[in-house]
Amino acid sequence: MSLRLRLTLWYTGLLAVLLLLVGAMVFSRVQASVVGGVDRELQQKGDQIAQLALLTSGTTAITDPLLTIITASFEPDIYVQVRENTRRVIIRSKNLGRAVIDLPEPYYQQAMHSMAGFYNLSIRQPDDLRVYFAPIMVNGHTVGIVQVARNLAPQQAILRELSNNLLVLFTIALALAAGVGYWLTGVALQPIKEATATALAITRTGNLKRRVPIRRQRMDEIGALISTFNEMLDRLEELFEKQRRFTGDISHELRSPLTTILGNLSLLRRAKNLPEEEREDMLNEMHSEAERMHRLISDLLLLSQADSGLAINRAPVELDTLLLESYRLAKRRAGAGLAIHLTHEDQAVVMGDADRLRQVLDNLINNAIRYTPRGGSIELSLHCLGDEAMISVADTGQGITAEDLPHIFDRFYRADKARTRAAGGTGLGLSIVKWIVDAHNGRIEVESTPGEGSVFHIYLPVAAPCTES
């Protein structure tokens, strides 16, 4: 059963119960008031006659002519009957004709015990006769019983009409509520229907560009659901796009070194009498391409482990020792064309993974070497800033333009594609740096001026208060 139908049935059902309760209350109130009016009238008349009998000290004194005089003031549909205490009917009002108003045993006994009361008699279904009975008492004894009755037909007709009217009214109200409710639920659920249709269309066509249409901005739960759904689609589309680009980039990155290696190999195979020097060059090129592929695959492996939530080891690491080692290595790697200085070194210990932190320094220093032309300089430093340590790698290289700066930490992003690939980079170095720094609860900042140089600052929380030297 659809939600729309279920909701409509629910509140129509609730409304029906409510209307039934209200109807029953109204009906019983009106009934009580109508029957109460009749009772009051019957009691008044009955007591009058009983009083009269009392004044004349006995039932026998109420003669037919006397009763006629009394009842003359009564309405024509009020019946009067007087019985002796033996139950024998001695007087009846004329309008009764040959009929006798019954006095069932329990009420007779009640009257004999000096009590008055009311009861209903069914003489002609469905109309009832309402009867009041009262004892005629002489010296504390019941000598006779007065019965005054009235046909309830007019009152019952009123009540029947009332119940019929209520029934018609409630039926109309229920039908209206069900119709309007069904329509309103349909309107309210329309956006959900559209969201379902969109999700289905995406599943069938694989087109992640589709969105649930927003006809007007809604601030309610449905509005929140739709904007969350659309946001989720944005995110999915972005992820799929990223994934697609990533796969394309990997294939591209792997293809170019392989092409070089395969080309060189076939040349080496064909040209047997190649000069030794040329042969050596080709082997060197193949070696460096194979090394690049190796680096790329290791980087990719690391990033995929990072994506699947690889946790880093945590042990105290002396950043100053680490920086000193990286500095020495960089000096050897850079050769004589670049000046590398360790300008400032405070002492700082962080909780982290020494190998990964070394990788951060190596990647940053390698980039600085790679993108700084001969004659330039690179400065390394470690500063203690209270509860964090700052490592800086500054170079006087080519710098990074303002457009490239926000993207350099993206995977496979290269400011100058041809040049940086030729320089031997994989395009993954800074993504790895960012992941490692984030995993150590640190942050990375970069400032750069194209043509003048770049500075990378790494901030890491220290394990114990560090000391400035």
Q: Supply the minimum distance, in Å, between the C-beta of residue 405 and ligand ADP.
A: 9
**DSSP structural state of residue 58:** S
The answer to the question of residue 74 lying near ligand ADP (CB under 6 A) is: no
Q: Which stretch binds ligand ADP (CB under 6 A): 218-226, 284-292, 327-335, 408-416?
A: 408-416
Residue with smaller CB distance to ligand ADP, 155 or 420 = 420
The answer to the question of residue 420 lying near ligand ADP (CB under 6 A) is: yes
Residues 415, 320: Cα–Cα separation, whole Å: 31
Helix (H, G, I), strand (E, B) or coil at 454: strand
Rg value, the chain, Cα: 53
Q: Are 283 and 312 in contact (CB under 8 A)?
A: no
**Residue that is written with structure tokens 């927003």 in the block:** 214
Nearest to 390 by CA among 274, 468, 281, 337: 468
The answer to the question of residue 42 lying near ligand ADP (CB under 6 A) is: no
Residues 259, 253: Cα–Cα separation, whole Å: 11
The answer to the question of residue 59 lying near ligand ADP (CB under 6 A) is: no
Options 8, 142, 359, 426; binder of ligand ADP; rule CB under 6 A: 426
Residue with smaller CB distance to ligand ADP, 105 or 307 = 307
Phi, psi torsion values for 438, nearest 5 degrees: -60, -40
Task: State the first-to-last Cα distance of the chain, in angstroms, to the nearest integer.
Answer: 77
Q: Supply the minimum distance, in Å, between the C-beta of residue 306 and ligand ADP.
A: 14
Count of chain residues binding ligand ADP (CB under 6 A):
23
Residue 384 parent element (H or E): strand 377-385
**Residue that is written with structure tokens 């009590």 in the block:** 115
Options 400, 437, 444, 458; binder of ligand ADP; rule CB under 6 A: 400
CA angle 259, 262, 265 (to 5 degrees): 145
The answer to the question of residue 408 lying near ligand ADP (CB under 6 A) is: yes
Residue with smaller CB distance to ligand ADP, 170 or 412 = 412
Q: Which stretch binds ligand ADP (CB under 6 A): 15-23, 62-70, 190-198, 365-373?
A: 365-373
The answer to the question of residue 257 lying near ligand ADP (CB under 6 A) is: no
The answer to the question of residue 427 lying near ligand ADP (CB under 6 A) is: yes
Q: Supply the minimum distance, in Å, between the C-beta of residue 329 and ligand ADP.
A: 17
Strand partners, 362: none
Q: Which stretch binds ligand ADP (CB under 6 A): 4-12, 177-185, 226-234, 421-429?
A: 421-429
**Which residues does 423 contact at the CB level (< 8 Å), separation at least 6?**
370, 371
Q: Supply the minimum distance, in Å, between the C-beta of residue 242 and ligand ADP.
A: 16
Residue with smaller CB distance to ligand ADP, 381 or 426 = 426
Residues in 335-364 at the binding interface with ligand ADP, rule: CB under 6 A: 363
Residues 122, 128: Cα–Cα separation, whole Å: 5
The answer to the question of residue 391 lying near ligand ADP (CB under 6 A) is: no
Phi, psi torsion values for 412, nearest 5 degrees: 65, 15
Residues in 153-182 at the binding interface with ligand ADP, rule: CB under 6 A: none
Residue with smaller CB distance to ligand ADP, 110 or 420 = 420
Q: Which stretch binds ligand ADP (CB under 6 A): 56-64, 83-91, 105-113, 415-423?
A: 415-423
**DSSP structural state of residue 397:** S
The answer to the question of residue 415 lying near ligand ADP (CB under 6 A) is: yes
CA 466 remoteness from chain centre: 48
| Residue closest to ligand ADP, measured at CB | 425
The answer to the question of residue 414 lying near ligand ADP (CB under 6 A) is: yes
The answer to the question of residue 326 lying near ligand ADP (CB under 6 A) is: no
Residues 335, 333: Cα–Cα separation, whole Å: 6
Helix (H, G, I), strand (E, B) or coil at 315: strand
Q: Which two tokens stand for residue 385?
A: 């800033």
Q: Which residues bind ligand ADP (CB under 6 A)?
A: 363, 367-368, 371, 395, 397-400, 408, 413-416, 420, 425-431, 454
